Amino acid sequence: MLKEFKEFAMKGNLVDMAVGFVMGGAFATVVTAFIQGVFLPILAPIMGGIDLSSLTFTVQEAVLNDAGEVVKEAAIVDLGAFIAALISFIIVAFVMFMIIKGMNNMKKKEEEAPAEPPAPPRQEILLEEIRNLLAKQS
């Protein structure tokens, strides 16, 4: 069983897929940092000073007792985080689309490239050599 698992784990496709997951996760982290640290702060002045990253909607206020302690937490919808995640998803999906489109174009070019004609069968080569020898003798 251990030998079978080793053969499975060392297959090229599995290793390539693992590298793809790691690279995809790293790329998603970079995109998220870009959205949170660069894109949304630049977008805020354009939208009239609305900071999308801190945009929230309170569904139900917190309930306090007479001493001012929170008895029941407030129900808050974090719209800013959702918008940031949505923008990150769109960017990552677009980049993946462009990468796959480029790979497909490269595959098409490889398929369109004329391949060398297959070598003739061994019998034909031998027959041609015999014919050439007979032609020289006569």
Q: Are strands 75-77 and 63-64 parallel, antiparallel or unpaired?
A: unpaired
Match domain 2-137 to its CATH number in 1.10.1060.10, 1.10.1200.120, 3.40.50.2300, 3.40.50.300.
1.10.1200.120
What is the reported pLDDT for 12? 63
| 26 phi and psi angles, rounded to 5 deg | -65, -40
The DSSP H or E segment spanning 137 is helix 122-137
pLDDT band for 92, please (50, 70, 90 cuts): confident
CB-hemisphere CA count at 13 Å for 24?
14
Would you mind telling me the total number of residues written for the chain in this entry? Answer: 138
Instruction: Show me where the domains of the chain are located.
Output: 2-137
- Residue % of the chain over a pLDDT of 70: 95
Could you report the per-residue pLDDT of 15-32, keeping only the tens digit for each?
A: 777 888 888 888 888 888
Could you report the per-residue pLDDT of 34-69, keeping only the tens digit for each?
A: 888 888 888 888 878 777 777 888 888 888 888 888
